[in-house]
């Protein structure tokens, strides 16, 4: 269904836009429509390719944050054995579990309806504009926030705050709304700086994306007769995601979400115009 060239473009696009707060699903839904590629975006084959590129993104995140995940998993196990929360990493791990619950439940319940949204590029463009507005809201909430990545501050998050961030993440099931964008906005709304909110968003994305992709592995195998485009897309998504998270963890230490907000609004408006032609 996809050529190797198309798979490379979509793989790079997914890997980069999944971590930039500009919606990977939105871009993957819009680009084929804007370029008039003859692709059935609501088909099982296309959706399995999208899931595969998400698995590549999660793999890149795991590689980048591997030291953090070793500490988190080790300290969570120790906390369970000793029956007390002993470190900031253990608490962050359990907070991530709480934040992952809402999107896990809704993703399973609504996966068929979500899949159908890929066939509606105009709706995706409108949601992209909405994503830009959400990012401007985050900047309004971030006024006066003191920067600096500090895991001890993240560990002081309440269980209700972590659940609220998880609820916000559910919005990213809609193509056009960014997982990074909505979780960062919720994190900033909970009192965290941009870089702390981004760090939690990236850590939270890893198990959520992995779990969703692993559940679809049999589906991926069943619907990919030609593996060359799939492999090309996977590798490009992984490379794009790794370079993106490496850049963004430094970017949010000193800079804002405003450029991404402006881009999303302009991209959404331009897409609506082009789709109407």
Q: Are 58 and 209 in contact (CB under 8 A)?
A: yes
Nearest-10 crossing angle of helices 4-19, 194-215: 140
Strand, helix or coil for residue 159:
helix
Mind listing the pLDDT tens digit for each residue in 27-70? 988 898 888 888 877 777 787 788 889 889 999 999 999 999 99
Q: Quote the CA–CA distance of 186 and 15 in Å, as a whole number.
A: 23
Sign of CA dihedral 16, 175, 256, 200: negative
CA-angle at 217, arms to 216 and 218, nearest 5°: 95
Kind and range of the H or E element at 27? helix 24-34
Ranges 138-147, 190-199, 212-221: which has the least confidence? 212-221
In this prediction, residues 129-142 reach a mean pLDDT of 95
What is the pTM (predicted TM-score) of this model?
0.89
Secondary-structure percent of the chain, ordered helix, strand, coil, rounded to 5: 80, 0, 20
Q: Answer for the pair 162, 95: CB distance below 8 angstroms, yes or no.
A: yes
Chain segment 265-276, per-residue pLDDT in tens: 999 999 999 988
Tokens of 77: 């196990």
Q: What is the pLDDT of residue 143?
A: 81
Q: How far apart are CA 13 and CA 27, in angstroms?
A: 7
Residues 6+ apart with CB under 8 A from 123: 117, 175, 176
Is the CB of residue 211 less than 8 Å from the CB of residue 99? no
> 187 — alpha (psi -120 to 50), left (phi > 0) or beta?
alpha
Q: Which residues contact 226 (CB under 8 A, 6 or more apart)?
A: none
* N-term to C-term CA, the chain: 26
Query: Among 64, 3, 94, 36, which Cα is nearest to 277's?
Result: 36
Is residue 271 within 8 Å of residue 47, measured between CB atoms?
A: no
Binned at pLDDT 50, 70 and 90, residue 197 comes out as very high
pLDDT score for 108: 73
């Amino acid at each position: 269904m996809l050529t190797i060239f198309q798979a490379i473009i979509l793989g790079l696009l997914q890997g980069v836009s999944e971590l930039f707060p500009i919606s990977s699903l939105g871009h993957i839904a819009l680009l084929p429509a804007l370029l008039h590629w003859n692709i059935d975006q609501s088909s099982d084959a296309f959706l399995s390719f999208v899931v595969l590129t998400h698995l590549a993104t999660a793999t890149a995140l795991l590689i980048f944050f591997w030291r953090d995940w070793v500490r988190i998993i080790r300290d969570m196990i120790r906390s369970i054995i000793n029956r007390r929360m002993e470190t900031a990493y253990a608490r962050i791990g359990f907070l991530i579990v709480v934040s992952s619950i809402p999107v896990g439940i809704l993703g399973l319940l609504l996966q068929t309806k979500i899949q159908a949204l890929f066939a509606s590029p105009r709706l995706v463009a409108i949601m992209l504009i909405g994503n830009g507005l959400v990012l401007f809201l985050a900047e309004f909430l971030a006024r006066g926030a003191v920067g600096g990545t500090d895991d001890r501050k993240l560990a002081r998050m309440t269980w209700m705050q972590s659940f609220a961030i998880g609820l916000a993440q559910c919005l990213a099931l809609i193509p056009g709304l960014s997982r990074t964008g909505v979780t960062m906005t919720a994190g900033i709304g909970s009192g965290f700086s941009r870089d702390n909110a981004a760090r939690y968003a990236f850590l939270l994305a890893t198990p959520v994306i992995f779990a969703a992709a692993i559940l679809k592995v049999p589906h991926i195998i069943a619907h990919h007769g030609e593996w060359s485009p799939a492999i090309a897309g996977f590798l490009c998504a992984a490379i794009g995601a790794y370079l993106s998270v490496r850049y963004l963890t430094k970017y949010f230490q000193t800079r804002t979400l405003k450029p991404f907000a402006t881009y999303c609004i302009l991209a959404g408006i331009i897409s609506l115009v082009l789709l109407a032609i």
